[in-house]
Amino acid sequence: MASAKLYFIFLLYQLLYYLHLAIAQNNGTVPVGATLTAGTNSSPWVSPSGDFAFGFHQLDEENNSNGLFLLSIFYNKIPEKTVVWYTDNKDQNPAVPRGSQVKLTADRGLVLNDPQGKQVWSSKIDIGTVAIGVMNDTGNFVLASSSSSKLWDSFTNPSDTLLPGQMMETEQGLFSRKSDTNFSRGRFQFRLLEDGDLVLNVANLPTDFAYDAYYTSGTYDSTNSSNSGYRVMFNESGYMYILRRNSQRFDLTTGRVVPAADFYHRATLNFDGVFAQYFYPKNGNGNWSAVWSQPENICDNISGEFGSGACGFNSICTLDGDRRPMCECPKGYSLLDENEKYGSCKADFELSCNGGGQGYNKELFDFHELKDTDWPSSDYEHFSPYDEVQCKNTCLSDCFCAVAIFGIESCWLVKLPLNNGRADSSVNRKAFIKYKKDDDPDPPSVPRPPDPEDKKKRKMMNATGSVLLGSSVFVNFAMVCAFVLGFFFIYKKKWIRNNPGDATIETNLRCFSYKELEEATDNFEEEVGRGSFGIVYKGVIQTTRTSTTAVAVKKLDRVFQDGEKEFKNEVVVIGQTHHKNLVRLLGFCDEGQNRLLVYEFLNNGTLASFLFGNLKPSWNLRTNIAFQIARGLLYLHEDCSAQIIHCDIKPQNILLDDYYNARISDFGLAKLLTLNQSKAIKTAIRGTKGYVAPEWFRNSTITAKVDVYSFGVLLLEIISCRKSFDIEMGEEYAILTDWAFDCYRNGKLDDLVEGDTEAMNDIKCAEKLVMVSIWCIQEDPSLRPTMRKVSQMLEGVVEVDVPPNPSPFSGYMR
C-alpha cells in the first residue's frame, strides 16, 4: 500500500513537472534542471512569440550521415532555421553527435555534455546562482538569479550575428564561421577597438592574431577622444550605428530600412569575410536580402603582407552580384580540401629548385593566360622596361617563378604561395600561370653519375665470356662457379659498406666521391656552421647538364668509437625520413676515413641567427615557427617508421627555408630506436648546455622526453628572443628557464616579452606558450607531455593546465 502511494506521488510529481515545463514554454522561461537531447523529439525552448528558439539544430540533414547537431538560437518560423547564435569552442568544431545533452544548472548555467557525459561547453557562471532561463522575443537567451539579476546572456557572448536590440562594446567582436555549414571558428573578425574604430580583419588561426584591417569605420579621433566611437548599436527599428563618446552617431545603415514589425533583421559576419545587414519578411514569402554590406570589394580590400586574402592561398577571388567573393583554383592547381571551396589550392605538379627540380627544365612547362588577374603581394622580382615575350621566358627559366604578371612594359615574377589573388577589370594586367605540359614522371632529384667500377665489371664479364666460348662444357661450368664465388666474396664487403642496414631499404640517395665534394665546396672553403659531429660547408653540385644547386656538406671531422655505426644510422634513417619540417638529405660520401653528408642548403640560415639579432622578428612568424618545430619532433617521435630521439634540439639545429618555415637538422645522429622499443639506455651525455634534460646527469633512462625538455627551453627562447643562458643579463636573470617561471608565477609576463608590441597585444597566446614550455621543462620526465600533447596544446586542441614548479628539488645550473 505504501509503495502504491509513493508511486502515485511520483507520477503526480512528474505530471506537475511537465505541466510546469509546458506553461514555462508559453512565456519563454526555462526552469533549472530542464534538459534537451540532440536527435530526439524534445521541443526547443521557444520565445513567447515563437520567433526564436534555443535548441539543437541538425546540420545538413540530407548529407549528414553522422548525425551532427549544433546547440544554437535560430529563427523558429523560417523554413531554413537561420542560426543567429551558437556555442563557440574557438579551437574545435562546436557540432556535437546525436545523444548529446544540454542542461540548465544552478551553479554553471547551461552545460553541454556529449553522449558519454563529458562536458563540451558551458556558459561559465562566475558569480551567483541561476534561478531561471529566459528565451526572449529579441533572440536573447538570458540566465537570471532569483533577484532577476542577469548572470549570463547570449547577446553579450555573440558568435557571428547581431540582432536588433543588441549592442557591442569596445574589444568585443564577432567571429566568422569556417564555411556556410561548418561552424568552427573562421578567419575573419568584426571588432570595435579600444581607440574607437570599428574594423574588419583577417585573423591568424589558431592564435586569433589580427592582420591589417580591410575595412575601418574611421571613428577614431586622435585629436578629440570624445569624438571616438565606443559602442556599436543595432536598434529595434533595424538601424546600425556607432555611438561616439559625445553621444553623436556614426551611421552604418545607409538609407531607409523596411519596418521591423513586418520583417526580421540581422547583421552577420559571413564566413567569406563580408559583413552585411539583412531583412526577411515575417510572412515567410521571400529570402534574406542585403540592406548594406562592407567592404565594397573584399577581393581588392584584403591586400596585407600576411595571410591568403579573401580566398585561400594560390586561389583567385572574383565578386558575385551581391559583392560576395567567389574563389577558383587556376589551371594546374586543385583544392587542398575538396570540401572547402573557399580554401587553399595546391599545385598538381612539382615546382621546386631542390635538387634540380622541374623548374629548371623550361621545356616541360607552359603558361595559362588570364586577363585582368594579379597576385600583388607575392612578387619577388620586377623588370622594366620588358616586353611580354621576355617576361614569359624569364619566368620559364626561373625555378622560383610560379606566375609572370605583365602590364605596360613591366614584368613581375611571383612565387608560391600566391596570396591575395584577384580578377577584376580594374587590374589591367595579364597573368601567365606556369603549369606542367604533360604527365611525364619526375626526373630524379640528384642523378647518379656512371660508376667507374661498372666498366671494370663489364670488361671482366667480356673477357670471361671469350674464355667460356672456347672451353668445354665442364670447364665452362667450373669457371662460372669460380667466377660467381669470387665475385661474391670480392664485392660482399663493399656492398655491405655502401648499403648500411637492411638491404631491402631504398634510400634514393646519391653516393658522392670525396673528390666530387672537394670540388663542390672549393676545397671546403666556405664554412657555414659547426655541430657536435663535424663542420658544415657550403657547396654547389651539378644536378643536370645545365643546372646546379647549392648544398650544405657536413664533414665528420673526428673519429668516433661508434663513428661508423653513427654514420650508417644517419644515412639509412634520413634517407627514409621525409617531412616538411625536416632538412632533406641528398646524398653521402663513405670513402675510407672520409664520411660526409650532403644536405639541401637553406638560404635563411639558423633559427639562432633569426632570434638573437638586433631586431625582434615578427611575433606571428615566431609562433608559427614554434608550431612547426613541434610538428617535426612529433613526426620523429611517433610518425616515422622507427622512433628517432634527436638529443640536441637547439636554435642552431633549426634551419629556415625561403619562406621562413622551420626545418629540423642533425636528427640523423641521434639514438635510433626500433619501432617496438620505448626506451634508449644512456651511453654518453649528448646535447648542448642549457638545453640538456636533467636525466642525462643522473643514472636514468633516456627517452624521447629529453627532446621535450629541450623544446621547452627553445620555446622560451622563441617567446623572449633571449638565449637560454646569458651571463650578461646578471645572475638573477642569467638562466632563462628560471627567470621565465618567476615571470609566470608573479604575473609579469610583460617582462618576458618586453618591448615586443605584437606579443603584448597577444598576451593570452604568450601566456599559453609559456605554460606549455614550463610543462616541457619539468624536472620529472613523467610530468612532461609527449610531443603529440605539446602540439595539441600549442594549437588549442586541448586545454593547457596550470603547470607546477618545474624544478622543485634542484638548485643547480643546467
CATH architecture of the domain with residue range 26-154: Orthogonal Prism (2.90)
| Residue type (1 letter), 638 | E
Say if residues 23 and 34 touch (Cβ distance below 8 Å): no
pLDDT at 695: 85
Beta-bridge mates of residue 191:
173, 199
Question: How far is Cα 398 from Cα 414, in angstroms, rounded to an integer?
Answer: 11
Alpha-helical (H) ranges within 650-782 are: 705-720, 736-745, 749-752, 757-761, 763-776
CA distance 504 to 603: 35
What are the cell numbers at 149?
539579476
Integer angstrom CA distances of residue 538 from 5, 541, 603, 650, 653: 92, 10, 11, 21, 16
Residues 623 and 717: beta-carbon distance below 8 Å: no
pLDDT at 566: 62
Q: Among this protein's residues, is 648 annotated catalytic?
A: yes
pLDDT exceeds 50 at position 527: yes
Binding-site residue set: 555
Q: Which amino acid is at 71?
A: L
Confidence class for position 520, pLDDT limits 50, 70, 90: very high
The answer to whether 21 and 32 are in contact (CB under 8 A) is no
Strands (DSSP E) found in 387-437: 403-407, 410-414, 422-423, 430-436
**609-643 pLDDT, tens digit each:** 999 887 788 898 899 899 999 999 998 988 776 78
Q: How many alpha carbons fall within 13 Å on the CB side of residue 245? A: 15
Give the lowest-confidence range in 231-240, 476-485, 668-677, 789-798. 668-677
Only one residue has cell 538569479, namely: 145
Q: Boundaries of CATH 3.30.200.20 in the chain? A: 499-600
**If you write DSSP's letter for every residue of 558-605 in order, what string do you get?**
S--TTHHHHHHHHHHHHHH---TTBPPEEEEEEETTEEEEEEE--TT-
Architecture of domain 158-295: Orthogonal Prism (2.90)
Which cell numbers hold the place of 262? 513586418
CA distance 282 to 580: 54
Q: Name the percent of the chain in helix, strand, coil, to the closest 5.
A: 25, 25, 45
pLDDT for residue 475: 43
Highest mean pLDDT among 199-203, 227-231, 768-772: 768-772
Q: How far apart are CA 499 and CA 482, in angstroms?
A: 25
74-108: per-residue pLDDT in tens?
999 988 789 999 998 776 789 999 999 999 999 99
Checking if the pLDDT of 469 tops 70, the result is no
- Residue 225: exposed, middle, or buried by beta-carbon count in 10 A (0-12, 13-18, 19+)? middle
| Beta-sheet pairing, 166-169 with 161-162 | unpaired
Using the predicted structure, report yes or no on whether residue 446 has a pLDDT greater than 50. no
Angstrom distances, CA of residue 370 to CA of 375, 382, 436: 12, 19, 16
Average pLDDT on 507-520 reads 86
Q: Outline where 385-501 has alpha helix (H).
A: 388-396, 452-469, 473-498
β-sheet with 527-530: strand ranges across: 510-511, 585-591, 594-600, 548-556, 534-542, 527-530
Indicate yes or no: pTM above 0.95. no
String of DSSP letters for 259-316:
-TTTEEEEEEE-TTS-EEEEEEETTS-S--EEEEEE-S-HHHH---SSS--SS-TT-E
Residue 326 burial (C-beta neighbours within 10 Å; 0-12, 13-18, 19+)? middle
Q: Among 266, 373, 254, which residue's Cα sits nearest to residue 318?
A: 373
Neighbouring C-alpha atoms within 13 Å toward the C-beta of 78: 22
- CATH number of this structure's domain 499-600: 3.30.200.20
Phi, psi angles (nearest 5°) of residue 676 = -95, 10
Classify residue 771 as exposed, middle or buried by CB count within 10 Å of its CB (0-12, 13-18, 19+): middle
Q: What is the pLDDT of residue 10?
A: 44
Across 271-293, average pLDDT: 90
Measured distance CA(204)–CA(621) in Å, rounded: 11
Q: What does the pLDDT read at residue 354?
A: 59
Inter-residue contact 169 to 231 (CB < 8 Å): yes
Q: In this predicted structure, what is the pLDDT of residue 731?
A: 66
Give which of 189, 254, 194, 244 is closest to 219, Cα–Cα: 244
Q: Among 417-421, 723-727, 799-803, where is mean pLDDT lowest?
A: 723-727
- Which pLDDT does position 587 carry in this prediction? 87
Q: Give residue 412's pLDDT.
A: 94
- Work out the angle at residue 498's Cα, subtended by the Cα atoms of residues 494 and 502, and round it to the nearest 5 degrees: 110
| Residue 132 to residue 157: CA distance in whole angstroms | 18
| Four-residue CA torsion sign, 29, 34, 39, 43 | negative
Chain mean pLDDT for the chain: 80
- Dmax (CA) for the chain in angstroms is 117
Report pLDDT for 623.
Answer: 92
Amino acid 434 reads: K
| Residue 781 reports pLDDT greater than 80 | yes
| DSSP SS3 for 254 | coil
SS3 29: strand
Q: Cα(549)–Cα(545) distance, rounded to whole angstroms?
A: 12
| Amino acid in position 83 | V
Provide the pairing of β-strand 345-347 with 365-371. unpaired
Q: How far apart are CA 310 and CA 176, in angstroms?
A: 13
Q: Which residue has the cell 556535437?
A: 96
Question: What is the gyration radius of the CA atoms in the chain, in angstroms?
Answer: 33
Closest to 578 (Cα-Cα) out of 687, 445, 478: 445
User: What are the residues whose beta carbons fall under 8 Å from the beta carbon of 26, sequence distance 6 or more?
Assistant: 48
Q: What was the pLDDT predicted at 356? A: 45
| Half-sphere exposure of residue 121: CA atoms within 13 angstroms, side-chain side | 19
If one counts every other C-beta atom within 10 angstroms of the C-beta of residue 556, the result is 21
Residue 437 cell numbers, joined = 605540359
214 phi/psi in degrees, rounded to 5: -105, -5
pLDDT in tens, 132-170: 999 999 999 999 998 888 999 999 999 999 999 999 988
Question: Which run of H or of E encompasses 755?
Answer: none
Binding site residue list for ATP: 555
Q: Which three cell numbers stand for residue 517?
A: 665534394
- CATH 1.10.510.10 spans which residues of the chain? 607-794
For residues 55-77, average pLDDT: 80
547 or 672, higher pLDDT:
547
Distance CA 606, CA 655 (A): 4
Instruction: Name the β-bridge partners of 242.
Output: 232, 250
- Per DSSP, which regions of 116-254 are E strands? 119-122, 132-135, 141-144, 150-153, 161-162, 166-169, 173-177, 185-192, 198-204, 209-216, 229-234, 240-244, 249-251
Question: In a 3-state reduction of DSSP, which class is residue 193?
Answer: coil
Nearest to 723 by CA among 697, 688, 747: 688
pLDDT digits (tens, 9 = 90+) for 685-705: 555 677 888 887 777 778 899
Range ranked top by mean pLDDT from 62-76, 276-290, 534-548, 716-730: 276-290
Q: Is 654:667 a contact under the CB 8 Å cutoff?
A: no
**The C-alpha cell that represents 472 in the structure block:** 668445354
Identify the pLDDT of residue 284: 76
Range with lowest mean pLDDT among 175-189, 400-414, 465-479, 719-733: 465-479
**pLDDT classification of 36: cutoffs 50, 70, 90:** very high
Q: Which of 648, 666, 707, 762 is catalytic?
A: 648
**Are the C-beta atoms of residues 668 and 574 closer than 8 Å to each other?**
yes
- List Cβ neighbours of 51 (8 Å cut-off, separation of 6 or more): 75, 76, 77, 137, 139, 264
Residues of the chain above pLDDT 70, percent? 79
Tell me which of 311-315, 557-561, 574-578, 590-594 is least confident: 557-561
- Evaluate if residue 406 carries a pLDDT over 60: yes
pLDDT value of residue 568: 64
CATH class of 607-794: mainly alpha
Percentage above 90 pLDDT, the chain: 41
Most confidently predicted of 11-25, 370-384, 674-688? 370-384
Q: Are 28 and 53 in contact (CB under 8 A)?
A: no
Q: Report residue 803's pLDDT band, with 50, 70 and 90 as the boundaries.
A: very high
- Which ranges in the chain are annotated with CATH 2.90.10.10? 26-154, 158-295
Residue indicated by cell numbers 642523378:
447
Q: Looking at residue 80, what is its pLDDT?
A: 78
pLDDT confidence bin for 732, thresholds 50/70/90: low
Q: Cell numbers of 783, please?
A: 610530468
